[in-house]
Structure 1
Amino acid sequence: MESYDSDGDGSLSSAELVKSPALTSAKERVDANDDDAISADEIAQRIKVYDSQSSFVPVTVQLRLGGRPLEMATVTFAPESFMGEMQSFTGVSDATGYVMLSGEEQKLPGLPQGFYTITITREGGEQTIQGCEIADDVPEVSRMTFNL
């Protein structure tokens, strides 16, 4: 929270959420009291939901540019710092735009549940940054397509 809560009021406003693409993408699921802000307790409650779900979620990633598959772009899923000691997952898109993600430390059958910042780096260094929450009850993460 300290990294994102610039006014020190104990919650993250919409303006402060821009510092966390992952929390921004999951705001509807995390903001339990619907006050348009996210507290540390709400984040903790959302993470507690993971206890009743799978350890790993299958994730398919495809990159497209101008309606065509984007080849040779690097995709990195980096866990938000408040997720604790979790590894990042990286892959490079193939000729069909698909990315096979693998962990820095070990290969896993999917991605662990949590909040991730996604960095897509194209040849030449141009980057796109997005965020997502990986969880069983977030169906759109099983087949992610990024149209750049």
Structure 2
Amino acid sequence: MSRLNHASFFRHWTVAVPTTGAVGAGLLAALAGCSGGPSRVQPPSISPSGAASEAMTAYDKDSDGFIAGPELDAAPGLKAAMATLDLDKDGKVSEDEISQRIEAWQATGLGIMSITCRVTMDGKPVDGATVTFEPEPFLGENVKAGEGTTSGGMASIRIPKENRPSADYPPGMQFGLFKVKVSKQANGKETIPAKYNTETTLGQQVSSDDPAIMSQLIKFDLTSK
């Protein structure tokens, strides 16, 4: 493949968010090789209406047609995405809003994103912690969990190789709504409070229009109390 053809390929298939400072995010596309031509990592298959219905079944405990208040607290992935999810800005999430959010991810045609997050505890970087992004169950089995280990407080979150949809799948994360868990073991004991792992209140939307990703400030500022 000529140099010109490579340049043309990347202009057509790759969108990037510049990385500055400690935290950055970029959108990735797959490269198939010159003989087979370019291919693109497709978004995971999700039924917007089906996933939205399942979300309401899981979290709308009072059956009023909205996920709000304590119900929203129980869904960190949804709560973290309110800036783009709550279209009418009423502080509640409806079935239609969830469906439209999934449709918005799919409309980008982008299947994977590289993300880096920063973790601090009481203002200090956390080293050696495992950061796990667990997809909200209502998204289905095609959206995969990702993880990374902090160094200097920073962690690149990726789907583990053994869980990627195919052997040539590039590193990164699929679009989605995720519960985020931060864990660090020392002498067989968890050193991070339960509110950040087994009872996590942390969440993150992986999407090109998510404010935290756009501003390159994906950070989890934990407290020991």
TM-score (norm 2): 0.60
2:180 aligned with 1:118, yes or no? yes
2:93 is the counterpart of 1:38:
yes
1:93 corresponds to 2:150:
yes
Q: Is the 8 A contact 1:80 1:116 kept in 2?
A: yes
What do residues 96-130 of structure 1 show as CA deviations (whole Å, max 9, x unaligned)? 12223232402643211110000011233124130
How far 1:43 moved relative to its partner?
Answer: 0.1
Residues 1:131 and 2:203 are matched in the alignment? yes
Amino acid at match of 1:146: F
Matched, 1:83 2:139: yes
Q: Which consecutive residues of structure 1, in runs of 5 or more, have no partner in the other structure? A: none
Pair 136,147 (structure 1): closer, same or farther in 2 beyond 3 Å: same
Kept in 2, the 8 Å contact 1:59–1:143? The answer is no
Q: Does 1:2 align with 2:2?
A: no
- Relative to its length, the structure with more strand (as a share) is 1
3-state SS of paired residue (2:178): strand
Distance in 1, Cα, partners of 2:204 & 2:132 = 12
Q: Structure 2 unaligned runs (5+)?
A: 1-55
Name the one with the larger helix percent.
Answer: 2
Q: How far apart, CA to CA, are the structure 2 residues paired with 1:44 and 1:14?
A: 20
**Partner Cα distance (1:48, 1:122) in 2:** 36
Deviation for aligned residue 1:139: 4.1
The Cα RMSD (Å) is 1.9
2:219 matches 1:145 = yes
How far is 1:36 from its partner?
A: 2.6
CA distance in 1, matches of 2:98, 2:182: 25
- Aligned partner letter, 1:89: G
| Bigger relative contact order, structure 1 or 2 (CA pairs below 8 A, ≥6 apart) | 1
By how many angstroms is 1:147 displaced?
2.2
**Distance in 1 separating the partners of 2:157 and 2:81:** 22
Cα gap change, 1:101 to 1:13, in 2 (>3 Å):
closer
The offset of 1:75, in angstroms, is 0.6
Relative to structure 1, is the Cα distance of residues 8 and 147 closer, same or farther in structure 2, using a 3 angstrom cutoff?
same
Give % identity: 29
Distance 2:93 2:220 in 1: 26
Q: 2: CA distance between counterparts of 1:113 and 1:28? A: 16
The alignment's TM-score, normalised by the length of structure 1, stands at: 0.87
Contact 1:60 1:143 in 2 (8 A): no
